[in-house]
Structure 1
Amino acid sequence: MKALTWHGKSDIRCESVPDPRIEDAQDVIIKVTSCAICGSDLHIYDGVIPDMHSGDIVGHETMGEVVEVGSGTKNLKVGDRVVVPFTISCGECFFCKRGFFSACERSNPDKAKAEKLWGHSPAGLFGYSHLLGGYPGGQAEYLRVPYADVGPIKVPDGLTDEQVLFLSDIFPTGYMAADFCDIQPGDTIAVWGCGPVGQMAIKSAFLLGAERVIAIDTVPERLAMAQASGAITLNFMDEDIYDRIQDLTNGRGADASIDAVGSEAHGMASFDSLIDRVKQATFMGTDRPHVLRQAIHCTRNFGTVSIVGVYGGFVDKIPMGSAINRGLTFRMAQTPVQRYLPLLMERIVKGEIDPSFVITHTGTLEDGPDLYKTFRDKQDSCIKVVLKP
């Protein structure tokens, strides 16, 4: 089959690789009908995710049709159309039983590596390094899905791939970001990063009852999309974000702030972000947490900072004095996608949201390497890429 494979920094190739096969009774094989390039895939593309191996198949936003079913699979049959969560979860361990599917104790065969870096291992993920299981990803013609009775959700008749594909990651992640904010009537929510996850967080904040959403970015197309969703938009290269949020909230600060950027914040936005970039380039730091620092300062006393941007290692110069003395709550996670799927599928079916609004580019797997570059460099007004194998 054809698949997109990683061969080093900025080196994604469309290659022929062996077809996946059933390896466990709870596996299924799906024929991929749509997949997407995620913003977190760009961390792999930029070479900042450790323990990637040359030839690894990438991608974790995937859906398709079941074409083969393991003997122990009960909930799926050949011909079912499904969306596959990016988190791989057994459904039976301590964390899965409590709904924390992204902390599954069984699905990461390389968990000893993750424990050395993070203390404990999260769940295995599709197409996201050997720290997280080394599972082949879904930017391919076919995908093996372990624990198939726990992960994939069936797609109701009448919905297009584009409407449901993002249930695999960015819609649940953006929704979780807003859910973490415990939104009350009249609340103002600030969202850093208007990429696909940020756009979903903006929509979700309004769905959950926010009165105002302040969206922060510098890319005109992203800001225009956020404004079309009803957000107040701020360009961080043109104005002081702290001062503007203070102005907009009568000096109180945002009720909650969402960091949808993570480890690769823009290197020229401020002096501290420039220092972060220098540290990362000289191997003196692993992440660039400028957005997290700013979100802390911009959140009101006893507010919430919701973190869904990807951080890989250690961050420094975090203003914990501010957070502690002002009573901030931090909430963060790799999204336990399965926890949100039924609710979000219902919202799509009811027409409350159509996640396809973020799609700007569609191509084939062969187009994938060029579209990775287009997406990373924000060329051609690119916000979200869908691939059709």
Structure 2
Amino acid sequence: MKALAWHGKGSMRCDTVPDPKIEHPRDAIIKVTACAICGSDLHIYDGVIPSMQHGDILGHETMGEVVELGSETKNLRIGDRVVVPFTISCGECFFCRRGFYSGCERTNPDKLKAEKLWGHSPAGLFGYSHLLGGYAGGQAEYLRVPYADVGPIKVPDGLTDEQVLFLSDIFPTGYMAADFCNIQHGDTIAIWGCGPVGQFAIRSAFLLGAGRVIAIDTVPERLAMARETGALTIDFKAEDVYDRIQDLTAGRGADACIDAVGTEADATGSADSLVDRVKVATFMGTDRPHVLRQAIHCCRNFGTVSVVGVYGGFLDKVPMGSAINRGLTFRMAQTPVQHYLPKLMERIQKGEIDPSFVITHRAKLEDGPELYRTFRDKQDGCIKVVMKP
């Protein structure tokens, strides 16, 4: 089969690789009908994520048709259309039973590596390094889905691939970001990053009752998409974010702040961001947390900071004094997708949201390597890429 494989920093190839096979009775094999490039894939592309190996197949936003089933996978049938969560979860352990599927204790065979870095291991993830299981990803013609009796959800008749594909990751992640904010009717929510996850966080905040959303970015196409749904926007290269949010909130600060950017924040010209870049380049640091620092300062007293942007290691100069003295609440996670899937599928069916709004580029799998560059460099108005093998 054809698949997009990583071959070092900045190098993606469309390779011919062996087809996946059933390896466990709870497996399924799906023929991929749609997959996407995620912003967190760009961290791998840029060489930020550790424990990658040449030839690793990327991709964790995937859906398709079931073509083969293990003997213990009874909830699916050959021919079912399914969306596959990026989190691989057993459904039986301490965390899965409590709905914290992304904390699954059983699905990361490389858990000892993760424990050395993070203290404890999260769940295994599709296409996201040998720190998180080394599972082949879904930017391919076929995908093996472990624990298929827990993860994939059937697609109801009448919904297109493009309407449901993003239930695999970015819609639940954006929704969770807003859900973490404990939004009260009329609240002001500030969101850093108007990429795909940020766009879903904007719409989810409105769905959950926000009165006003402030969206922060600098890419014109992203800011325009945010305004289409009613968000106020701040171009961080054109004005001071803190001062603007103070003006908009009469000096109080936003009720909640969402970091939908993560480790590779672009904060051109800010002193702390320049220092972060030097630290990363000289291996003195692992992440660039400019956005997190700013979100903390822009949040009102006793507000919430929701973090869904990906961070990989240790963060410097995070203003914990501000957070502690002003009573901030922090919420963050890799999304327990299975927890959110049913309720979000229902919202799509009811017509409350059509997730396909975020797609700007449609392509074949063979176009993937070039589109990684286009997406990373924010060229051609690229916000979200969908590939159809």
TM-score relative to the length of structure 1: 1.00
**Counterparts of 1:118-197 in structure 2 under 5 Å?**
118-197=118-197
Equivalent position of 2:23 in the other structure:
23
> How do 1:307-326 residues align onto structure 2 when only pairs under 5 Å count?
307-326=307-326
Q: Residue 78 of structure 1 aligns to which amino acid in structure 2?
A: I
Q: Which amino acid aligns with 1:97?
A: R
In 2, distance between residues paired with 1:5 and 1:31?
18
Q: 1:19 Cα deviation (Å)? A: 0.2
Instruction: Provide the residue aligned with 1:14 in structure 2.
Output: 14
Q: Deviations over 1:149-202 (max 9, x none)?
A: 100000000100000000000000000000000000110000000000000000
Equivalent residues in 2 for 1:106-117, closer than 5 Å: 106-117=106-117
Tell me the alpha carbon deviations over residues 192-227 of structure 1, each in whole angstroms, 9 at most, x when there is no partner. Answer: 000000000000000000000000000000000000
- Aligned-partner residue type, residue 107 of structure 1: T
Question: Which runs of 4 or more aligned residues in structure 1 lie more than 6 Å from their structure 2 counterparts after TM superposition?
Answer: none
1:156-305 alignment runs, 5 A limit? 156-305=156-305
SS at 1:279's partner residue?
helix
Partner of 2:73: 73
Which amino acid is the alignment partner of residue 350 of structure 1?
Answer: K
- Contact 1:3/1:15 (8 A) holds in 2: yes
2:50 maps to 50
1:59 counterpart = 2:59:
yes
Deviation track 1:110-157 (CA, whole Å, cap 9, x = no partner) reads 000000000000000000000000000000000000000100000000
- Per-residue CA deviations over 1:262-298 (Å, capped at 9, x if unaligned) read 0000151411111111111111110000000000000
Alignment partner, residue 352 of structure 2: 352
Aligned to 1:305, the other structure's residue is in SS state strand
User: Using the alignment, how far apart are the partners of 1:40 and 1:388 within structure 2?
Assistant: 20
Q: Secondary structure at the match of 2:131?
A: helix
The yes-or-no answer on 1:374 pairing with 2:374 is yes
Equivalents in 2 of 1:138, 1:204: separation in Å? 26
Q: Distance in 1 between matches of 2:278 and 2:224?
A: 31
C-alpha distance in 2 between matches for 1:387 and 1:338: 23
The separation in 1 between residues aligned to 2:77 and 2:287, in whole angstroms, is: 43
Provide the TM-score with structure 2 as the length reference.
1.00
CA distance in 1, matches of 2:33, 2:186: 41
Structure 1 residues not aligned, in runs of 5+: none
Q: CA deviation at 1:99?
A: 0.1
Amino acid at match of 1:303: G
Give distance in 1, aligned partners of 2:272 and 2:159: 46
Q: Alpha carbons of 1:209 and 1:269: their partners in 2 closer, same or farther (altered >3 Å)?
A: farther
1:339 equivalent in structure 2: 339
Quick one: distance in 1 between partners of 2:277 and 2:154? 43
Task: Quote the residue 2:386 is aligned against.
Answer: 386
C-alpha distance in structure 2 between counterparts of 1:209 and 1:15, whole Å? 46
> For 1:45 and 1:387, how far apart are their aligned partners in 2?
17
- Matched-pair contact (CA < 8 Å) for 1:236–1:269: no
* Aligned residues of 1:52 and 1:130 also touching (Cα < 8 A): yes
Aligned to 2:257, the other structure's residue is in SS state strand
* Distance (whole Å) between structure 2 residues aligned to residue 315 and residue 78 of structure 1: 46
Cα distance, 1:5 vs structure 2: 0.2
SS at 2:225 equivalent: helix
Corresponding letter in the other structure for 1:22: I
- Residues in 1 aligned to 2:379 and 2:170: alpha-carbon distance in whole angstroms: 21
1:383 Cα offset (Å): 0.2
Which amino acid letter does the alignment assign opposite residue 167 of structure 2? L
Q: Distance in 1 between matches of 2:96 and 2:344?
A: 19
Residue 252 of structure 1: CA displacement?
Answer: 0.2
Moved more, 268-277 or 122-131: 268-277
Residue 34 of structure 1 is matched in structure 2 by 34
Aligned CA-pair RMSD: 0.5
Q: Which amino acid aligns with 1:191?
A: I
d(CA) in 2 for partners of 1:241, 1:365: 39
Q: Deviations over 1:237-268 (max 9, x none)?
A: 01010000000000000000000000000151
Q: Gaps (5+ residues) in structure 2?
A: none
Q: Percent identity?
A: 83
| Partner Cα separation in structure 2 for residue 372 and residue 317 of structure 1 | 31
Question: What is the CA–CA distance in structure 2 between the aligned matches of 1:386 and 1:301, rounded to whole Å?
Answer: 40
